[in-house]
Chain A
Amino acid sequence: MVRVLINVPKQIRANEPFDVKVLISHPMESGQRRDQMGQTIPRDIINSFSCTLDGEKVLNIEMFPAIAANPFLSFSAVAEKSGTLELKFTDDDGVTQTETVAITVS
């Protein structure tokens, strides 16, 4: 489990785009670096990220080692009614973590 910060506006209007900001604390080890003994440090990154709103796709991201450590993402979503935003990401070990955040449309 890694720490995830999710930020959505408190007030969202129906059918008006709003910003979702996500900060995941993850080292995103690129697999390119070497340790003091010259051994390659094995790659360990989040390789896929997806965001859905009540099961409907907002954004999927394929990530590569060029994404910086502690990935920050900011993107836009649109809602018709209150619902649940689900963020799901998978790392190189195949571990999937799911985070949800409720959004309220006024």
Chain B
Amino acid sequence: MMLPRRRVVLLAACSAIPCAGATPAQVGALIQALVGEAPLKDGLIHLDLPVMVENGNSVAMTVSVSDPPSPVEAIHVFAEGNPLPRVAVFHFGPRSGAPRVSTRIRLATSQTVIAIARLRDGSCWRDSVDLLVTLAACIE
């Protein structure tokens, strides 16, 4: 199909607009809303992501909590540089063998990914990974 020249120019301009990413401040607000008054400590939770990502369309991610002092209620994952910062929320039940999940995620750009674990005793634990993305998930 032939496109009128003006339309082609317009399309080129549209596709050149980078995906508007979330900001660390937005993610900070989300985490604040999630954690509330509870203390947020580093450690316990482990977020496993490659530091160098070749293809942002599919990045293997594993989150786990080792030896939690009380059962893990949920693990929240946030990506600071994605258009939508929320990645996934994992809620664990009584039949969960271990608080560990692996999946594959999309990353729009080089950024920091944050995982927050919330335990039944109310304490929250945090881990983050700074990574470099060579091919972003937004440009396809």
**0/1 string, B100-118, CB within 8 A of A gives 1:** 1111111100000000000
A1 to B19, CA, bound (A): 31
How close is B8's CB to chain A, nearest CB, in angstroms? 11
A104 at the interface (CB under 8 A from B): no
A14 at the interface (CB under 8 A from B): no
Interface centre among A34, A59, A73, A79 (most CB of B within 10 A): A59
**0/1 string, A77-92, CB within 8 A of B gives 1:** 1110000000000000
A74 at the interface (CB under 8 A from B): yes
A17's partner among B82, B94, B98 (CB-CB below 8 A) is: B98
| A75 and B102 form a contact (CB under 8 A) | yes
B5 at the interface (CB under 8 A from A): no
How close is B128's CB to chain A, nearest CB, in angstroms? 16
A76 to B64, CA, bound (A): 11
Sorting the interface of chain B by its residue count into under 10, 10 to 19, 20 to 34 or 35 or more gives 35 or more
Contact residues of B with A, CB < 8 Å? Answer: 10-11, 14-15, 19, 57-59, 79, 82-84, 86-98, 100-107, 137-138, 140
Q: 25 interchain pairs (CB within 8 A)? A: A17-B97, A17-B98, A32-B84, A56-B93, A58-B95, A58-B96, A59-B96, A61-B91, A64-B86, A64-B88, A66-B82, A66-B87, A66-B105, A67-B88, A68-B58, A68-B103, A69-B57, A71-B103, A72-B102, A74-B102, A74-B103, A75-B90, A75-B100, A75-B101, A75-B102
